Amino acid sequence: MKYASLPTSTALDRIDLRLLELLQVDGRRPYAELGAAVGISGPSAHERVKKLETRRVIEGYSARVAPAALGYRVLAFTWLTQAPGGGAHDLTSDFAQIPEIEECHHIAGEADYLLKIRARDTLDLERIIHRLQINPDVFSTETDVVLSSAFERRPVRAADSRAETDGRSEA
């Protein structure tokens, strides 16, 4: 199984963290605006962003496209369990061959994988699930269809950020 490489250094100062917050909201924001927002010059902001890219803290840039605009109106999550005694083959390359699988997570728990699937409609979802089920290394699947989504793709915060989530403050 392949794992994402970790950044070579995890030391991020407050300016780096703020740049990351801003870029996650708008990855096309000009360096001059980024710099002004964090109290540095545009060229300094550019240099810092390039260093974050080199260290692979920033993994890339992309456009967020509305799936429904491309005809994908159904979102589902499939819990997939491998066949017992099968030696636990890595199935990620099999899943990567199915373009409707948006995310693949190898997980701990009752299931072995959690897949995020985008489908045109429920018949298309049935086709995708059947394609998963005919794999000889797949024992079972359980699929949950999403009725609505309150939010997706929230910006990632630094692990040491002190966000109030339950009303309690940490001392």
What domains, with CATH codes, occur in the chain? Answer: 14-54 (1.10.10.10), 67-145 (3.30.70.920)
Q: How far apart are CA 129 and CA 111, in angstroms?
A: 15
Given a cut of 90, whether residue 22 has pLDDT beyond it is yes
Task: Judge if pTM exceeds 0.85.
Answer: no
Q: What is the pLDDT of residue 153?
A: 84
Structure tokens at 138: 């797949």
Enumerate residues 6+ apart whose C-beta is below 8 A from 63. none
**Helix ranges (DSSP H) in 26-168:** 31-38, 42-54, 92-96, 122-133
pLDDT tens-place string over residues 85-104: 766 789 999 999 999 999 99
Percent of the chain with pLDDT over 70: 86
Considering only the C-alpha atoms of the chain, give the largest distance between any 2 of them, rounded to a whole number of Å.
Answer: 59
pLDDT tens-place string over residues 59-68: 999 988 999 9
